[in-house]
Amino acid sequence: MPLKDILPGRIGYGAAPLGNMFRAVPDDQARATLQAAWDQGIRYYDTAPFYGAGLSELRLGEFLDDKPRDSYVLSTKVGRVILDELEEGARELGEKGGVFEDGLKNKIVHEWTAEATERSIEDSLKRLRTDRLDIVWVHDIAQDFHGDLWLQKFEEARTGAFRVLDRLRDEGVIKAWGLGVNKTEPIELTLGLDEPRPDGFLLAGRYTLLDHEHALERVLPMAQEAGVGMVVGGPYSSGVLAGGKHFEYQPASQEILAKVDTLKTLADKHGVSLKAVALQFPLAHRVTAAVVAGATQPSRIAEDRAALNEAIPAELWSDLRATRLVSDKAPLPHGA
């Protein structure tokens, strides 16, 4: 089923911050943020076992427990199994080792076999307090976590997770599946397979104001030709486009901060928020089914909803093209 037929709207809530991403978030604040998302009409929620070693799923499951199951769409991910065993010390997780240091201390096993995929789904259903998932993404089979071993991990997923999820989709247990990654190469490789066939992808950080050239050159045209949709994650590039100081899950460099300042100056010149520009840019591409943005403050949710509907003059997009901050190949909102 096409992602656009599954997703209830153009914006969803990305629940990675609920796993104590970058910092510890109090339970009452996490719940208030979710309540704000619900009150703003957001009905698509994306999470993963990896986010805080199950903490994000637990918090989301508790919040959604009293909501009618047919009233929202839920996606989570496979590739990490959360054990009851606890471990202390910093986690060694590729380039993102310290992102969830304040999450739960349960040991995480990285595995994409058929058995691990089925167990991961069962565990997620329990944490999320639900009887079904709508979309399942195969998580992080890419270079940023596995370096030169990423193709080995991809092959494990191809013969394991891909086939399990393809079967569950065909049986009607889930509505759709695909990859949830921060790199384009695994998506390109998947689209080159004869089978199994995914329904779409969640691509984080690769189709934003700060990084979109490569996606436009290869992966988005491939997805369009294959007739599959894309959920764009991280439209604010780890927060730096929304007033934060992180880019690519790390402290932003001076070069990135300077580029963001230039973008903000242009947005200010035209009387619009940079957040609106960052959110609406990826939605202009016909492959984009929705964007998911994370937050840990209720006020940020209202800002996201307002940014989605903010009027942006065509002159701003022209300025972004003229200064080469936006590629000439990128579709722009309202044909600007």
Strands 176-181 and 200-204, sheet pairing: parallel
Quote the pLDDT of residue 336: 56
Strands 73-78 and 80-86, sheet pairing: unpaired
d(CA 89, CA 87): 7
Question: Which among 282, 131, 287, 128 is positioned nearest to 222, based on CA atoms?
Answer: 287
Question: Which among 292, 322, 87, 316 is positioned nearest to 200, based on CA atoms?
Answer: 292
51 flagged as catalytic: yes
Q: DSSP string spanning 32-72?
A: HHHHHHHHTT--EEE--TTTTTTHHHHHHHHHHTTS-GGGS
Q: What string of pLDDT tens digits covers the 336 residues of the chain? A: 789 999 999 999 999 999 999 889 999 999 999 999 999 999 999 999 999 999 999 999 999 999 999 999 999 999 999 999 998 765 554 444 578 888 999 999 999 999 999 999 999 999 999 999 999 999 999 999 999 999 999 999 999 999 999 999 999 999 999 999 999 999 999 999 998 999 999 999 999 999 999 999 999 999 999 999 999 999 999 889 988 888 988 889 999 999 999 999 999 999 999 999 999 999 999 999 999 999 999 999 999 999 999 999 999 999 999 999 999 999 998 755
ω into residue 196 within 30 of 0, thus cis?
yes
Side-chain-side CA neighbours of residue 82 (13 Å): 24
CA–CA distances in Å: residue 163 to residues 3, 131, 252, 259: 19, 21, 38, 42
Q: DSSP string spanning 168-183?
A: HHHTTSSSEEEEEES-
Active-site entry in 13, 44, 45, 51:
51
Quote the pLDDT of residue 245: 86
Identity of the amino acid at 193: L
Quote the pLDDT of residue 246: 84
Quote the pLDDT of residue 93: 47
Quote the pLDDT of residue 248: 86
Ordered structural domains, the chain, with CATH: 3-237+265-335 (3.20.20.100)
Quote the pLDDT of residue 249: 82
